[in-house]
Amino acid sequence: MRIGACQTPEVVGDIDGALRIVREFAAQADSEKVDLLLFPECFLQGYLITERHIRTWAFDVISAEFAGVLAALAGIRQTLVLGMIERSGGTYFNTALVIARQQVIGRYRKTFLTAGESIFAAGESYPVFDLGQVRFGINICYDTQFPQAAAAVAARHDGAGAVDTMGDRVRADFHRRIGPEDVLATPHGLTVCDATVFDVRQSCSPRRHEHCERTP
């Protein structure tokens, strides 16, 4: 299986723009035979942790409004791991959705929140997902500072084969140095793939594809 870690420019408060980038990456992934596309933390609405932004842009995943987001993903072959700001009742979560063929097949809610993310509630579980012969789980940014987050993924159903990590506003070389060290410190043989938003002022290309390949 091939995993595409989508290193995107930052998009804030522009759902149509974010979905356009998703479709662009999916088109590129078709030519590169990628099966799973990983997008950064809160990518859909943008990682801006203010009460106004959260309340304005959060989606209820089972709402008619979010059905329009899923409809915009029509024709995408890959399974997506899409970072978003989720609303459930009056509670907000920093969430990664797993989407296949315009259907939400699961979600992970960030469990280790920073001091600046107090508007979010912490998630309480570490689900795993199957794609082909690979089982994977998700950690989001600060989760990777805590080896128990990856260990919890690996412990589910006799061990997960991959941990997908998502970050925001961190230079990719720095984030990769932190994430894999913490995750791979757990004795479970995990493979790590990391997607991070680039600061678009950096000289590096914001839309290159990077792949993690894993054989069963």
Range of the domain at 76: 2-213
Whole-model pTM: value is 0.80
pLDDT at residue 174, as a whole number: 31
pLDDT at residue 9, as a whole number: 85
pLDDT at residue 117, as a whole number: 96
Q: What is the mean pLDDT of each run of 10 residues along the chain (216 residues)?
A: 83 96 92 88 95 97 96 95 96 97 95 96 92 85 84 67 53 32 41 53 32 37
pLDDT at residue 14, as a whole number: 96
Kindly report the CATH number assigned to the domain that includes residue 17: 3.60.110.10
pLDDT at residue 193, as a whole number: 59
pLDDT at residue 206, as a whole number: 29
pLDDT at residue 1, as a whole number: 74
pLDDT at residue 131, as a whole number: 87
Q: How many domains does the structure of the chain reveal?
A: 1
pLDDT at residue 146, as a whole number: 86
Q: HEC states along the chain?
A: CEEEEECCCCCCCCHHHHHHHHHHHHHHHHHCCCCEEECCCCCCCCCCCCHHHHHHHCECCCCHHHHHHHHCCCCCCCEEEEEEEEEECCEEEEEEEEEECCEEEEEEECCCCCHHHCCCCCCCCCCCEEECCEEEEEEEHHHHHCHHHHHHHHHHHHCCCEEEEEECCCCHHHHHHHHHHHHHCCCCCCEEEEEECCCCCCCCCCCCEEEEECCC
